[in-house]
């Protein structure tokens, strides 16, 4: 696929270009060859995170004093793109979101304690938010943290937790008071190694993203120091979570465009080589027109996403635009992947073909990070 020209924005620096090239070479050479094994075992080996950290690519946006490479959010978004296009299931997205909760709301002591280890890959992070009866509606969270002396005792259960089985550190959304709605919610950080009362349940069998572990977590009288509370006071979780939404939504939008562009490359190569009825599949008018539509969608999305990245870096990306980016880009991702898969015929339904895996992996993009229905409702409120 010949890349269409887009406006060069200020965030597209020479440093970003060099980082992208280094990330692509590292991912393709050191990570991608192991994807099949990770898909079969259902998780990425913990030592892989150390390797990514050693390259300065795990949390490149953090300042050097916190163990990062002194970059900005664009470096992390580029990393997410490059991982997405190669199907590497190293979920830096969740890891970086957890890191930014600590960066923005942690004390200096908390930041010194956790961020450098997270940047080096010594601590792998997850976010324990979703519960069996509470998904997009955080007000339904039941996991309780009760203050006892100089600590908290946590009881409850979480599900659909990315990195849940392999994480060493969790940012847990808990209810610290009986107040209704989001006012009673707080964020508490847990280091899970040898933590009494903490238990990983099943690694869940998903229809896609097979190499990324998604697990059930259980907390039975788990005791943690009160010093692990983020923000210095209880009841701040809802505001803390909401303030990070523009960045979180962009992580999903960036992944969507990266996957679409890769799917188009695969489909163009296949249709130009595959013969049917005496000509290539690409020679059929329907094929050319459908792929022209997909290419147009990809181009429009790339322009939109690039602009949103610039606005994010400038501090101008409002929540509504971020909701639009998440919902629209994930919708288009699923539509384009479905169109592309169709041209592969039966081969497109075989998991050994990348297009099949990309198609299955895409479906959850409309669910996690806040369902698209919730995103549209939030957009409508701003109209």
DSSP annotation of 161: E
Active site residue 248: yes
> By C-alpha distance, which of 364, 365, 350, 362 is closest to 270?
350
370 in the Ramachandran plot: left (φ > 0), alpha (ψ -120 to 50) or beta? Answer: left
How many residues would you count in the chain?
383
> By C-alpha distance, which of 372, 43, 41, 91 is closest to 251?
91
What kind and span of H or E run contains 301?
helix 285-313
Identified catalytic residue from 61, 87, 248, 261: 248
> Cα–Cα distances in Å, from 118 out to 50, 54, 92, 324?
9, 11, 11, 30
Alpha-carbon distance of 360 to 351, in angstroms, equals: 9
Q: Are 270 and 344 in contact (CB under 8 A)?
A: yes
| Angle, helices 73-85/14-26, rounded to nearest 10 degrees | 40
Alpha-carbon distance of 167 to 190, in angstroms, equals: 10
Alpha-carbon distance of 218 to 206, in angstroms, equals: 20
Alpha-carbon distance of 200 to 195, in angstroms, equals: 11
What kind and span of H or E run contains 373?
helix 372-381
Any idea which residues carry the catalytic annotation? Answer: 248
């Amino acid at each position: 696929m010949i890349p269409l020209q887009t406006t060069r924005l200020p965030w597209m620096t020479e440093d970003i270009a060099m980082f992208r090239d280094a990330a692509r070479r590292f991912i393709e050479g050191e990570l991608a060859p192991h994807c099949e094994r990770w898909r079969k075992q259902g998780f990425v080996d913990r030592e892989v995170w150390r390797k990514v950290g050693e390259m300065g690519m795990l949390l490149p946006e953090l300042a050097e004093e916190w163990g990062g490479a002194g970059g900005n959010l664009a470096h992390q978004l580029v990393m997410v793109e490059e991982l997405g296009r190669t199907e590497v299931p190293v979920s830096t997205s969740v890891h970086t979101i957890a890191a930014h909760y600590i960066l923005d709301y942690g004390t200096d002591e908390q930041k010194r304690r956790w961020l450098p280890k997270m940047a080096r890959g010594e601590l792998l992070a997850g976010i324990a938010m979703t519960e069996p009866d509470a998904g997009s509606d955080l007000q339904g969270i039941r996991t309780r943290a009760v203050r006892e002396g100089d600590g908290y005792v946590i009881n409850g259960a979480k599900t659909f937790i990315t990195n849940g089985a392999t994480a060493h550190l969790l940012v847990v959304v808990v209810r610290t008071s009986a107040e209704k709605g989001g006012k009673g919610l707080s964020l508490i950080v847990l280091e899970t190694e040898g933590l009494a009362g903490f238990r990983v349940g099943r690694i869940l069998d998903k229809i896609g993203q097979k190499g990324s572990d998604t697990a059930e977590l259980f907390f039975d009288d788990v005791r943690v120091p009160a010093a692990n509370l983020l923000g210095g006071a209880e009841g701040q979780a809802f505001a803390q979570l909401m303030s990070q939404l523009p960045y979180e939504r962009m992580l999903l939008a960036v992944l969507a465009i990266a996957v679409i562009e890769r799917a188009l490359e695969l489909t163009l190569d296949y249709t130009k080589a595959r013969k049917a009825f005496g000509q290539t599949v690409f020679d059929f008018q329907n094929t050319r027109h459908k792929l022209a539509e997909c290419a147009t969608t990809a181009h429009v999305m790339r322009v939109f996403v690039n602009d949103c990245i610039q606005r994010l870096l400038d501090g101008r990306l409002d929540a509504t635009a971020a909701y639009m980016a998440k919902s629209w880009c994930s919708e288009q991702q699923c539509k384009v992947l479905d169109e592309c898969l169709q041209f592969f015929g039966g081969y497109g339904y075989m998991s050994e073909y990348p297009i099949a895996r990309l198609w299955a992996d895409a479906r959850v993009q409309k669910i996690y990070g806040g369902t698209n229905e919730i995103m549209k409702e939030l957009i409508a409120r701003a109209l």
